[in-house]
Amino acid sequence: MAPKSCSLCQNAKPILRRPKTGQQICKHCFFTVFETEVHNTITEAKLFKPGDRVAIGASGGKDSTVLAYVMKTLNERYKYGLSLFLLSIDEGITGYRDDSLQTVKRNQQQYDMPLKILSYEELYGWTMDRVVSTVGKKSNCTFCGVFRRQALDRGAASLGVDHIVTGHNADDIAETVLMNIMRGDIARLGRCTAICTQGEDTIRRSKPFKYAYEKEIVMYAYFRKLDYFSTECIYSPDAYRGHARGFLKDLEATRPSAIIDIIHSGEAFEVKDEVRATQKTQQTCKRCGYMSSNNLCKACSLLEGLERGMAATAISDKGRRKLDGQAPTPENLRTIPYFHTPITVAIDVLPTPP
Ligand code: SF4
Ligand SMILES: [Zn+2]
Ligand SMILES: [Zn+2]
């Protein structure tokens, strides 16, 4: 039975059970705790400084829509002094991305933020529709992840920003910890929980939702009545991640703190120096000029494979070795897809009292 009053303010009627803590709270308190926790994550990690120009990786999905709304709210409330932009990537997926970009365009108006859209077609000469028709559905997310990472960097450069924030949430990060443990990928395990990363490129990337539960993001979007797009990509996402996700959801059902516990476990792993990935000398890609640790950047290696009709070879283990000279792991070429977390998430909304 629902308690008579919110367990935080002891005043208003509770309307939801908070997935992270099980507390039954009112809408106002939910907004406050959710936003305050994100603010605390941002300030504890010192993610921004006044004057920063920050691009929000925006797909129109729930995570990035809530991120844009919360970033705007916190920037105004706590006077972060940030200039915020929306940055969207059009992968060229008919019936999916074309519709979700309409949502981002509405968000641009609703949040009054400049929007930049970059397409794979203009950057690479390939849409994901054409990539899938060439390589099939098995490795499409590998191509998409590599292309997206570079596209975001290029979009950020054209906006003159040096920081991209993405809507990766606690569930995404806990899944990645589990996947890296299951693969024995110690080097990645050591860095997958980092809130802020700076890779081959010069653009900082961070995850203000690192500790925000997916269910709470869905609830927040629902109660704030945010305008977001909730259809999954038509090209099925990585099956291995799907297993990790299913396992995590089972754990969460038994013990809600499992998600945060797994992130904290990932953070607590100490990676010995000798197993850390060796830093390679930075150079520029001979084909496109993007920063790369090899003659060709990862996107151009994949493109060359596509153009030669040897895409399958380009992402085989042998191909991976050729691409970046690192030990081949299934994650070598794959970044976490930003835009396709499944949207069917059951949330525990209390029945409206009579
Ligand atoms: S599931 Fe995500 S990464 Fe895979 S093709 Fe679709 S948008 Fe790209
Ligand atoms: Zn309350
Ligand atoms: Zn290149």
86-103: pLDDT as tens digits: 999 999 999 888 889 999
pLDDT at position 341: 37
Phi-psi region of 127 (alpha: psi -120 to 50; beta: other; left: phi over 0): beta
- Which ligand lies nearest to the CA atom of residue 132 in the structure? 1
| Pairing of the two strands 163-165 and 83-90 | unpaired
Q: Is residue 339 scored above 60 in pLDDT?
A: no
Q: What is the DSSP string of 244-282?
A: HHHHHHHHHHH-TTHHHHHHHHHHHPPPPGGGSPPPPPP
Identity at 202, one-letter amino acid code: T
Ligand 1 pocket check for 233: Cβ under 6 Å: yes
Please check whether residue 351 lies inside any domain of the structure. Answer: no
What is the 32 CA–ligand 2 centroid distance (Å)? 9
pLDDT tens figures, 167-219: 999 999 999 999 999 988 888 888 899 999 875 557 899 999 999 999 999 99
Of 120, 339, 343, the residue with max ligand 1 atoms within 8 A of its CB, to mutate for a pocket test, comes to 339
What is the 25 CA–ligand 2 centroid distance (Å)? 5
Please check whether residue 82 lies inside any domain of the structure. Answer: yes
Overall number of domains in the chain: 1
> pLDDT category, 272, cuts 50, 70, 90?
low
Supply the range of the domain harboring residue 125. Answer: 26-277
Please check whether residue 346 lies inside any domain of the structure. Answer: no
Which residue has the CA at smallest separation from atom 4 of ligand 1?
141
Please check whether residue 353 lies inside any domain of the structure. Answer: no
pTM for the predicted model, two decimal places: 0.85
Please check whether residue 16 lies inside any domain of the structure. Answer: no
- Which ligand lies nearest to the CA atom of residue 95 in the structure? 1
Of 93, 126, 134, 144, the residue with max ligand 1 atoms within 8 A of its CB, to mutate for a pocket test, comes to 144
- Edge-to-edge strand list for the sheet holding 163-165: 115-119, 83-90, 53-57, 163-165, 204-206, 196-197
Please check whether residue 56 lies inside any domain of the structure. Answer: yes
- Cα separation, 159 vs 73, in Å, equals 22
Please check whether residue 38 lies inside any domain of the structure. Answer: yes
**Tokens 């844009």 belong to which residue?**
68
Q: Is residue 337 scored above 50 in pLDDT?
A: no
Contacts 24+ apart (CB under 8 A), 7-14: 8/32, 8/33, 13/353, 14/350
| Torsion, Cα of 183, 197, 193, 80 (10° steps) | -160
Please check whether residue 14 lies inside any domain of the structure. Answer: no
CATH code of the domain in which 245 resides: 3.40.50.620
